A and B are shown apart, each in its own frame.
Chain A
Amino acid sequence: MSEIKTFLALFDEIDPAVAAIDRLREQGVKDDQMNVISGIPLTDHILGRPRIWSNVPRLALGGAVAGMLFGIFLAAGITNLYPLKIGGQGLVNGAPTVVLLFEMTMLGLLASTFIGVFLDSTFPSYRPKEYIADISDGKIAILYSIQEEKVSEVENMLNSLGAQSITPSERQPL
C-alpha cells in the first residue's frame, strides 16, 4: 500500500477553497482526511463539510445541574448541618433558596461551558502543529492527506483552482 502524505494548500478566497474541498472529495480524499483552517469561523454550510459535533452544550447542561445541586447544598444542606434558629422562620426558605439556586446554576453552566470549550478543543496544546501564520492574515488553508501516487495530480488540480501555495505539511511550534 502506498504511503499517505499530508499537505497544506493555501487559498486567498472562500469560493476556490470550497471548490477545492469538493474536488478533493472527488479524488478520494475522505472528509476525515481534510481539515479547514481559517482566520474567521466558516460554518459547515459555507464549506460544504460535515457538521462537527460539539460536546459543549451537554457539558454546560451537566455543569448547570452540578451547580444547582451545590446551590441546594448551600441553601438547604448547611442550614441543617449548622442550624441557626430564628424565631418564626423556617430553616430553609423559598425565596432566598431561589436566589442561591439561580446563581449557582448559572455559575455551573458558564464555568462548564468554558471548560467544555477547552476540553473539546484540547486547549491548551503547545505541541508543534501544522500551521502557517498567513492563516490569521485571512488565508484559508486546507490540510489534506492523500496517497503518494495522487500527489501531483491533486496538486495540479488545486493550482488550477487558484491555490496560492501547496506545501508538505510540517509540524512546527506555534
Chain B
Amino acid sequence: MVATAEPLKQAHTVGAEDPHEHLMLDPKPRGEMNGMVMDAMHTTSWKFWVVAVFLGLIVLTCLLISWGYLIAEGLGVAGVNRPSFWGIFLVNTVYWIGISHAGTFVSALLRVMKAEFRRPFTRAAELMTTFGLIQAGFSIFMHMGRVWLAYWLFPYPNVRTLWPNFHSPLGWDFLAINTYLMASTMYLFLPLIPDLAMARDRSTGWRKVFYRILSLGFRGTEGEWTHLRTGMTIFAWAIIPVMFSVHTIVAWDFAAATRPGWSSTIFGPYFVIGALQSGIAAVGMVVVLIRATMKNMKYFIRPEHLDALGKLMLIVSMIWAYFFFNDYLVQWYGGDKFTQMLLEFHEKGPMGWMWFGMLICNVAIPFLTLWNKKIRRNPSMLFTIGLLINVGMWFERYIIIPVSLTINRMPFTWKLYFPRIEILLSIGTLAFFVLIYMIASRLIPLVPVWEVQEGQLAHGLRKVGKAEVKTVSEIE
C-alpha cells in the first residue's frame, strides 16, 4: 500500500467526516487566532458584570461575613458536633481537591500521552486546579475554627518544644496539598508565558504593563523555547504521581482510622478515581460555559472536544463504579456488625436518598447517556451530565464523611449531622471559585494559542486508497 500526503484544501471523500470539523485540520493564521483570543478577553457584556456583581455579593455575605461570624463566635455556630466532628468543611475540602485533579489529569497526562484533543482547553483545566485548591484551603481553614493558630501546622520548634508530628496522615496532607498547590501553579504558569508575551505585544495601557511583567521578557528564542519545553516535559511527567499522591493521602486521613466504612485498603485509588470523576465532569462544564459565553470560542472548542471529554467521563465513571462496588462488597462481606449497620444506614437511613442519588448521578446517568455520540457532542447535555456527576460526587463525599461518622462503635453517641453555617460557607466558596475564574478569563488567555498552532502544524491529511485520513507528525 502506498500512502501519499495530500494538501488539506483537497476535497474530502464524499460521505466521510468533514476534516474541517477538526480544529487541528482547520487552521487560521496565527495573527487571526491571537486576535480572536484577545477579543474574547476584552469583550465583556453587561451580563458578565451583572453575574460578577451578584457573585461578589454572595462572596461578601456567604463567605466573608459568614466566615467572620464563625471566627468571632467559634465552631459552635456550625453543625459539627459529636459524633460528626468532620462535616461539610471536609466534604468541601475533599471535593475541591478532587476538582483540582482534573487540571493536571487533562493537561499533564494527555500531554504525556500526546492526546491532541487536549490542546485548546488545557489552560481552562489547569486554572481549575489552582482555583480549586484555593477553595480546598479555605475549607480546611474554616474547619480549623481558630484560623489565627494555623501556623501551628508549620514545622517549627515552637514553645511546646514539639514539632508537628509527621507520622500523622494530617501532617502528610499539609505537605502533599501544599506541594500540589505550588506545583500546579508553576505548571499553570510555564506554558502561559508565551501567551502572556503574545498578549503583551497586542495590548496597551495597564494591560501592557501587566502582561509585560508577567511574560518576564519572553521573546521566543531557540534557547527560551528549549528550556521551556524541557521544563514542561519534566513537569508533565512529575506532576502526575504528585496528583495521585495528594488524593491518596487525603484518602488515608480516613482509611488509616479503624472506623466502620473508612478502614479500607482501596480507599486511596477509590478517592483518586472519584477526584477524576468530578474533576473531568467539571472540566466538561467549564469548557461548555466558555464556549457558550466567550467570543470566538466556538472556533477553538468544538463538538470533537466535547465528544472526547464525554468519552473520558464515561470511562472514569465505569472505573469509579468498579471501585465503589469493590469497596462496598468487601465491607458488606466482612460481616462486622457496625459496618453492616452503617451500610444499612446508608441505604435505608434518613440520608438514603443521597446514597441512591449518588449512584444515579455517578453511574446510571453517565452509563445511560454518554455512550451516545450525539449526546456527548451536545453542549447542553454534556453540561447537565457534568453537573449531575458533580452533585453525585459531592453526595459521595457527604456520605463518606458526616453520614458515615454517625454510625460508630459507640451507639450511645449516634446522632445525625445537620449543617448550619456550613451551608452558607459552601455557597460562598463555590461563588468565589466561579468569580475568580470569570475574572481570570478576562486577564489570562484561556486558549494556549501557541499550542493550538503547533498542533495545526503537525496535523494533515493523508490519502490512503480512496480515503483521506487524519495524520499527525511528531514535530515536538
Binding site for B on A (CB under 8 A): 35-44, 46-47, 49, 52, 54, 56-57, 60, 74-75, 78-79, 81-82, 84, 93, 96, 99-100, 102-104, 106-107, 109-111, 113-114, 116-118, 120-121, 123-127, 129, 131, 133-138, 174
Contacts and interface: CB of A to CB of B under 8 A. Distances in A.
Interface stretch (B136-144, B241-249, B463-471): B241-249
A55 B29 CA distance: 34
Contacts of B29: 137-138
B217 A124 contact: yes
A60 B190 CA distance: 15
Tell me what chain B mostly uses at the interface: helix, strand, loop, or mixed.
helix
Contact of A82 (B157, B189, B194, B219): B157
A126 B220 CA distance: 14
B183 A106 contact: yes
Of A99, A111, A125, A131, chain B has the most CB atoms within 10 Å of the CB of A99
Contacts of A56: 227, 230-231, 234
B200 interface: yes
Interface stretch (B88-96, B164-172, B374-382): B164-172
Contacts of A129: 217, 219
B177 to A, nearest CB: 10
Interface residues of B, number: 62
What are the 10 tightest A-B residue pairs by CB atom distance, in nearest-first order? A138-B30, A137-B31, A133-B201, A125-B217, A41-B225, A117-B231, A124-B216, A123-B216, A136-B198, A120-B227
24 contacts: A37-B219, A37-B221, A39-B30, A52-B226, A56-B227, A56-B230, A82-B157, A96-B167, A99-B245, A102-B245, A103-B175, A107-B175, A107-B182, A110-B182, A110-B234, A116-B227, A117-B228, A121-B224, A121-B227, A129-B217, A133-B202, A136-B202, A137-B29, A138-B453
Contacts of B215: 174
Interface in B441-469: 450, 453-454, 457
B1 interface: no
Contacts of A135: 201, 219-220
Nearest to B35: A137
Given A43-B476, A109-B234, A174-B200, A117 B453 contact: no
A120 B157 CA distance: 36
A125 B193 CA distance: 13
Contacts of B457: 40
B31 A82 contact: no
Given A46-B475, A114-B190, A57 B230 contact: yes
Interface string B218-260: 1111111111111100110011011001000100000000000
B160 to A, nearest CB: 9
Interface string B8-38: 0000000000000000000001110010000
